[in-house]
Amino acid sequence: MRKNLMLLGFLAFSVAGCGLENLLGTLGRSPDARPASTLQGWFPWAGVKTTSMVVTDGGGNTVVPFDTVIGADDSYTLKLPSSKYQFLRVQARLGDMETRTIVPSIGEESLVTGVDTDDRNVTETIIVEARLAHDGQTFQLLSPEVYQGTRTLIRAAFDVPGPTQDLLNMVGRIMPKADPLSATADPFFFRVPEVGSDWTVKSSPLDSGWIARNPFDYVGNGVVQTDTLALDAALVAAAKLYQPAGCIDRTRMRVVFSVDFNQGALNGNGGSIDRFKWAKDKPGKQMFFVGWVHKDSPVQDSKVNSDLGASTPNIVKMYDDGTNGDEVAGDNIWTVYFDVPLDPNPANVLRIGYKYTWGTRGAAWTGSEEWPGNSRIIEVVDVNGDGFVNRRDVFGDEATNKDNSNLSLSPRNTGSITWTTDLRGCGPEAREQKTTLHNAATCEQWLTPKSIGPITGACTGT
């Protein structure tokens, strides 16, 4: 039974990272059952209680199952509210041990099996956690498709001599030491590792006090270990080999637009803005992005033009709910992003015209656009090299990258902005710039998106 589950689990994990878990569809779901996104797996040890299992998403938020079943054969089933989830971590607690397993993705009313809490999955999880900590990244920034490449590399390395297999063997020796009757508040193993940017292990997966009280040979070399140094060294050696966030895709660029719609937001001159000088407010409105491939663009791409909205107002919605690149739900800073191709010839730069509308879906320009008759312009050039073209605007700002009738107070202002105009010495207005947060005369800081990562592809090596 357990071997069959393991085989099915490996296959399910393999497809899950590629977004193919829906091949498993609604397997075993009755028409009258509550819709669920279901996880199934097995424990290599008995004694886990339903209250000992926790599921968190990529942002660290708890996802509460509405049904949990632990079988007599050490299997388990967790039914989550039906939704699309990314980077779930299933945590199971047995006395003084906690195990964690990564589920890269699951769809609505889907089933993913093989979410096992064995030594291989625990080892993979702490390797990834250690690498993310070192890189200053989170699961929320990862791509399930890209992560599958990392998973493939790790699992292949389990089966050949090297740092990854060494760590797996250590984890396998430690797991049987769990005390299921322990009532300790925090697990002694396996804790989420904390690794600094210099690869110093600040917090080991193994509690130093526990190993000092319970010394044993977890390395397998005949030497009794009384500290975590050997485990930490093996963890770092393995974590250095993988990049779960992937490698930057140089053929595409993620372009992020966010617009501040707060009362009191300042324009490019440091003055106040009347949000409703042109746009009219009424209940039910929200922010939309209106974009197009500019007529001056060396790159003309009909698909990109369509994705941007093809200059049609109130079609491409923006977000202020903490999703789709938005960083803080409800802060009245609205966000949307697009992935666009990059031409290998750096002279062929994609140029975009755009503006924002405060409206209802499908409404006309009048009463919704931030100002009529003009547009903003931007070139898709990653000026600061962070993997994004990130533009932060203020709704209704007429002293910005507005192409015509620009109201900047700069003495160089001619009333229009070209692709090379640099009014404040921060670089051309028509490119991403350091954001002016407090003083319109200064270029204060780069803003790199925190709730999404750049476009990456699976790394094929270290």
Domain boundary among 194, 220, 239: 239
Clarify whether residues 310 and 442 are in a common domain. yes
All residues at 6 or more sequence positions from 237 whose CB lies less than 8 Å from its CB, including other chains: 163, 166, 167
Q: What's the pLDDT at 345?
A: 92
Half-sphere exposure of 239 (CA within 13 A, CB side): 26
Phi, psi of 343 (to 5 degrees): -80, 135
Q: What's the pLDDT at 295?
A: 97
Clarify whether residues 307 and 205 are in a common domain. no
Clarify whether residues 191 and 266 are in a common domain. no
Clarify whether residues 165 and 210 are in a common domain. yes
What is the number of structural domains in the chain?
2
Query: How buried is 172 (Cβ within 10 angstroms: 0-12 exposed, 13-18 middle, 19+ buried)?
Result: middle
Domain boundary among 239, 267, 294: 239
Q: Compute the Cα dihedral for 246, 251, 252, 253 and give only its sign.
A: positive
Q: What's the pLDDT at 8?
A: 31
Rounded Cα distance, 275 and 265, in Å: 9
Q: What's the pLDDT at 411?
A: 64
Clarify whether residues 218 and 97 are in a common domain. yes
Clarify whether residues 220 and 262 are in a common domain. no
Clarify whether residues 314 and 396 are in a common domain. yes
Q: What's the pLDDT at 454?
A: 87
DSSP string over 181-195? T---SS-SBSPPPEE
Q: What's the pLDDT at 206?
A: 98
Clarify whether residues 74 and 179 are in a common domain. yes
Domain boundary among 239, 272, 290: 239
Clarify whether residues 209 and 282 are in a common domain. no
Clarify whether residues 231 and 95 are in a common domain. yes
Q: How many CB atoms lie within 10 A of CB 218?
A: 23
Question: Which amino acid does the sequence have at 287?
Answer: M
Give pLDDT tens digits for 194-221.
999 999 999 999 999 999 999 999 999 9
Q: How many CB atoms lie within 10 A of CB 377?
A: 25
Positions in the chain whose pLDDT score sits under 70: 1-32, 411-414, 436-442, 460-462
Total-model pTM: 0.62
Q: Which domain holds residue 290?
A: 248-462
Buried b (16+ CB within 10 A) or exposed e, 273-289: bebeebbeeeeebbbbb
Clarify whether residues 213 and 235 are in a common domain. yes
Q: What's the pLDDT at 6?
A: 34
Rounded Cα distance, 82 and 180, in Å: 32
All residues at 6 or more sequence positions from 452 whose CB lies less than 8 Å from its CB, including other chains: 141, 254, 256, 325, 337
User: What pairing do the DSSP bridges indicate for beta strands 247-248 and 376-379?
Assistant: unpaired
Q: What share of the chain is helix, strand, coil (3-state, %, to 5)?
A: 20, 25, 55
Clarify whether residues 181 and 208 are in a common domain. yes
